[in-house]
Structure 1
Amino acid sequence: MKPVRVALGAFLVLIGVVWFLQGIDVLGGSVMSGVTLWAVIGPLVAVVGAVLAASGLRGGRHRPLDQD
């Protein structure tokens, strides 16, 4: 499950950065270009993605399996 978290988190970071750049009108050619809403939503999505990816990369304790 951890590789899925890392991949999904990285994807969200990438999408968030693209949305931010479109919102601040660095990446043009879209209806999202120059719209302040995307300049706000983009970083929020990128932060959520970074947290998700970090949780997938973080080494945690594994619970032992119940063995009877």
Structure 2
Amino acid sequence: MRGWFRLTLGLLAVVLGALWTVQGLGYAGDSVMTGHRIWAVVGPVVVLIGLVTLYFGLRARRGRG
């Protein structure tokens, strides 16, 4: 079970970050976050954190972490 938590958390962060980016840029409607530029900045940061977390989760699954 090594690395599963990091993989799950990383994947969740990537998906949420992408969603927040799309909402911040105004492409997704019907949300209080739509059109607010702060989410267009926060989203990619969360995606980057998620990718780093995925990397370390994969390393743990392979036995190197």
| Superposition TM-score, scaled by structure 1 size | 0.84
Q: Does 1:57 align with 2:58?
A: yes
| Number of residue equivalences | 61
* Residue 28 of structure 1: aligned partner: 29
Deviation at 1:14, TM superposition (A): 0.2
Give ranges in structure 2 of 5+ residues lacking alignment.
none
Structure with more of its chain in helix, by fraction: 2
Runs ≥4 in structure 1, deviation > 3 angstroms? Answer: none
Q: Which residue of 2 aligns with 1:66?
A: none
Residue aligning to 1:64: none
Per-residue Cα deviation, 1:4-55 (whole angstroms, up to 9, x for no partner): 1000100000000000000000111111001100000000001101100110
Instruction: Provide the rounded CA distance (Å) in 2 between the counterparts of 1:27 and 1:50.
Output: 23
User: RMSD of the alignment, in Å?
Assistant: 1.1
* TM-score for both structures, normalised by structure 2: 0.88
Extract unaligned runs of 5+ from structure 1.
62-68
